[in-house]
Amino acid sequence: MNFYYTHWYDEFDPMPNAFTNNVSKSYVPENIFTKGEIHNILRLQNIDFNLVKDDYKPFIYHCNFRLDNRKWLQPFQNYVSEDTKSKLINNGMLVFTDDEGYDTSAVEIKEKCVQHGVPIEKVLLITGNQKCIDEQTIPTLFYSKAINDLLIDIKYNLEVQNTVKECLRRKPKKFLCSLSGNPSINKVLLTNELVKQNLIEENYVTFRKAQANRSGAEYLNSLISPELEKLLPLEDEGWHRTNFSKRSIWTLKPPSHCELSVVLDTGSDGKFNLRDVRHRIFHLSGLPPVLLLKKPFILHASCPKLHLIKSLGFKTFDELWDESYDLELDEKKKAKSVVQLILHIKKNPELISKAKNITEYNYKRFFELDYNKKITDYLYETLYR
């Protein structure tokens, strides 16, 4: 099985997307296809893929789907030129990856494709949004960038492989791990509660104030309690993200020091963020490392999400503790409920031991996920039928 691409934009970001119009004139073979969402899907399936050398081979044309307050970042024709469209109609497949998991992505893409004359049967959306997958407005399959980013490093990066082994051997010295980058409402409220219950200094907790230019930053920062204000900044160097090649290592090491992880899902911030991500299954970059390291977790999301995690075949911990916190819609009440559950588990350490059967199961399930195969099978059958 061999897949072909039309072209890449430059040797550092070798895939068509909405962020650049610069086409590289210099081909650097050793840097072609070293990263990217479609690339990782194919590499994880051990599938060869090359640059299209002529107009007669079936090919994949990949675009990253992005919205800004429900508006396309660039006009559709910047994604798909007239020349590319004619080639797609002849023998290609237009693949949109939506790692943000927008509820509206399938509808938006169909509208633009119909408007610009791209046949729907030539389009595939891969996303983490269950609503889009269920409705099949356009052909849609599940994938998770968060899982694939970690899987690809485990497969090809020796440093990450060694880090995983080291982390699995490590005996936890702290109880709680709670990581957060830029705060959303639920992150601010949760960290405030952790401060009130003295769960900061003895645990692994990171936190940052919202950047001044972020929408709603003034309101978000106004939620920070005076006690937390005194402790800021609570952050570690990994969250500066100055070197993305180390990102997997950053996400693995903190939870390896702890017995329990609180996984935070940014979600939407009400009036400050118009994205509706209630049906986004797996955008959580903090959860794959926790599953891989066999850690029990509490999922603190801006809307109910545990049922979506279960839909992928993972288990949660409802047989050990009350997970009704996930159904709470009031953000302040939810933060209090999560912290009360943390305190309950801390007072009953046998719960951590009893969770081992579930964490072992989730570890195995992590490597059994077959969505990458379903995507490549679909592409092959569609392109070569």
Q: What is the pLDDT of residues 314-331, one digit of tens each?
A: 999 999 999 999 999 898
The pLDDT assigned to 297 comes to 97
- Residue 257 and residue 315 in one domain: yes
Is 352 among the domain residues? yes
H-helix or E-strand spanning residue 370: none
- Residue 137 and residue 169 in one domain: no
247 vs 29, which has greater pLDDT? 247
What are the residues whose beta carbons fall under 8 Å from the beta carbon of 259, sequence distance 6 or more?
Answer: 172, 174, 175, 176, 295, 296, 349, 352
Domain end point (choices 115, 143, 171): 143
- Checking if the pLDDT of 5 tops 70, the result is no
* Cα–Cα distance list, 108 to 76, 102, 103, 104, 379 (Å): 10, 10, 10, 6, 22
* Cα–Cα distance list, 98 to 26, 53, 172, 384 (Å): 29, 28, 36, 24
Share of the chain above pLDDT 90, in %: 46
324 vs 279, which has greater pLDDT? 324
- Residue 201 and residue 88 in one domain: no
Question: Residue 320 CA to chain centroid, in angstroms?
Answer: 27
377: buried, middle or exposed (CB in 10 Å: 19+, 13-18, 0-12)?
middle
Q: Which two tokens stand for residue 286?
A: 């903090």
The whole-number average pLDDT for the span 142-165 is 91
H-helix or E-strand spanning residue 167: helix 158-169
Q: Residues 239, 241, 244, CA angle at the centre, nearest 5°? A: 130
The pLDDT assigned to 271 comes to 46
Q: Residues 288, 293, 295, CA angle at the centre, nearest 5°? A: 90
The pLDDT assigned to 17 comes to 32
Residue 350 main-chain phi, psi, to 5 deg: -65, -20
Looking up tokens 């194919």 gives 42
- Checking if the pLDDT of 360 tops 90, the result is yes
Is 32 among the domain residues? yes
Domain count, the chain: 2
In this prediction, residue 247 has a pLDDT band, given cuts at 50, 70 and 90, of: confident
The pLDDT assigned to 84 comes to 81
Q: Which of 47-61, 127-141, 246-260 has the highest mean pLDDT?
A: 127-141
Domain of residue 171, CATH code:
3.40.50
In this prediction, residue 245 has a pLDDT band, given cuts at 50, 70 and 90, of: low
110 vs 242, which has greater pLDDT? 110
Is 380 among the domain residues? no
Whether residue 50 contacts residue 8, with contact meaning beta carbons closer than 8 Å, is answered with no
- Residue 123 and residue 180 in one domain: no
Domain end point (choices 111, 143, 175): 143
- Residue 180 and residue 305 in one domain: yes
Q: pLDDT tens-digit profile of 56-114?
A: 778 888 888 776 655 677 778 877 888 888 888 888 889 998 888 888 889 989 999 99
d(CA 71, CA 344): 44
| Ramachandran area for residue 347 (φ above 0: left; ψ -120 to 50: alpha; else beta) | alpha
- Residue 14 and residue 128 in one domain: yes
d(CA 97, CA 142): 10
Q: Which residues of 201-212 are buried (b: 16+ CB within 10 A; e: fewer)?
A: eebbbbbbbbee
- Residue 138 and residue 186 in one domain: no
d(CA 263, CA 353): 19
146 vs 215, which has greater pLDDT? 146
Residue type, 380: Y
Average predicted confidence (pLDDT) for the chain: 82
- Checking if the pLDDT of 269 tops 70, the result is no
- Residue 243 and residue 354 in one domain: yes
Looking up tokens 């302040």 gives 332
| Ramachandran area for residue 197 (φ above 0: left; ψ -120 to 50: alpha; else beta) | alpha
The pLDDT assigned to 369 comes to 95
Nearest alpha-carbon partner for 383 in 137, 38, 83, 57: 57
Is 384 among the domain residues? no
Q: pLDDT tens-digit profile of 175-231?
A: 999 988 767 888 899 999 999 999 998 899 988 888 887 778 888 889 999 999 888
d(CA 330, CA 211): 25
Domain that holds residue 89: 2-143
The whole-number average pLDDT for the span 25-29 is 35
- Residue 173 and residue 296 in one domain: yes
Q: Are strands 67-68 and 71-72 parallel, antiparallel or unpaired?
A: antiparallel
The whole-number average pLDDT for the span 248-264 is 91
- Residue 32 and residue 62 in one domain: yes
The pLDDT assigned to 149 comes to 87
Whether residue 4 contacts residue 58, with contact meaning beta carbons closer than 8 Å, is answered with yes
In this prediction, residue 367 has a pLDDT band, given cuts at 50, 70 and 90, of: very high
- Residue 129 and residue 164 in one domain: no
- Checking if the pLDDT of 18 tops 80, the result is no
CB atoms within 10 A of CB 347: 8
Is 197 among the domain residues? yes
Is 385 among the domain residues? no
Q: Which two tokens stand for residue 276?
A: 């509706």
The whole-number average pLDDT for the span 37-64 is 77
d(CA 359, CA 232): 33
Helix, strand, or coil (residue 343): helix
Identify the bridge partners of residue 62 per DSSP, sorted by sequence position.
95
- Residue 193 and residue 314 in one domain: yes
Is 27 among the domain residues? yes
- Checking if the pLDDT of 28 tops 50, the result is no
Is 377 among the domain residues? no
